[in-house]
Amino acid sequence: MAAAGLRAALEQRLRELGIAALTAEHPEVFTVEEMMPHVQHLKGGHSKNLFLRDKKKKGFWLVTVLHDRQINLNELAKKLGVGSGNLRFADENAMLEKLKVGQGCDVKFKVYFHPMTNSATMGLSPEDFMKFVKSTGHDPIIIHFDEDSK
């Protein structure tokens, strides 16, 4: 399905869930740095998404963090229980298969995300975002990155 069709399907799903979203149109962007001039005026947390896989390509994670957060993949792997050194960035083929989008269009959404296209940014309240994630049949894992690894 093309990006326009995916975006329309996402917008329809949000309406079905009773979730209101604010969307700002902008030129295509491929990095957080390119996106920020177009959305920095919007109130809320601006995010970036990391689509990760384990070393054996059996598990995938979509990790959403504040746009300026640096992530140590070894520490994250420990927190997710997959063992240090076992997380990698998923390649574009995996993104296309699992998320139906390519690099620069990671999915997830007050909290701002690209709505299945990198030519717009969509904002959802954190509560609505969690509602959406749960509606996909996934239980979100909340990790507080500022806490010490245990």
pLDDT value of position 100:
67
Do residues 79 and 86 lie in contact, with contact meaning Cβ atoms separated by under 8 Å? no
pLDDT in tens, 22-50: 888 899 888 888 888 998 888 877 777 78
pLDDT in tens, 43-78: 877 777 788 998 876 788 888 888 888 888 988 888
pLDDT value of position 147:
62
Q: Is the pTM of this model over 0.85?
A: no
Domain-wise residue ranges, the chain: 3-135
Angle between helix axes 126-135 and 3-16 (nearest 10 degrees) is: 100
User: Long-range contacts made by residues 3-7, C-beta under 8 angstroms, separation at least 24?
Assistant: 3/101, 3/105, 3/116, 3/117, 4/117, 6/100, 6/101, 6/116, 6/117, 7/115, 7/116, 7/117, 7/120
> Is the CATH number 3.90.550.10 carried by domain 3-135?
no
pLDDT value of position 143:
78
Name the pairing type of β-strands 111-113 and 45-54: parallel
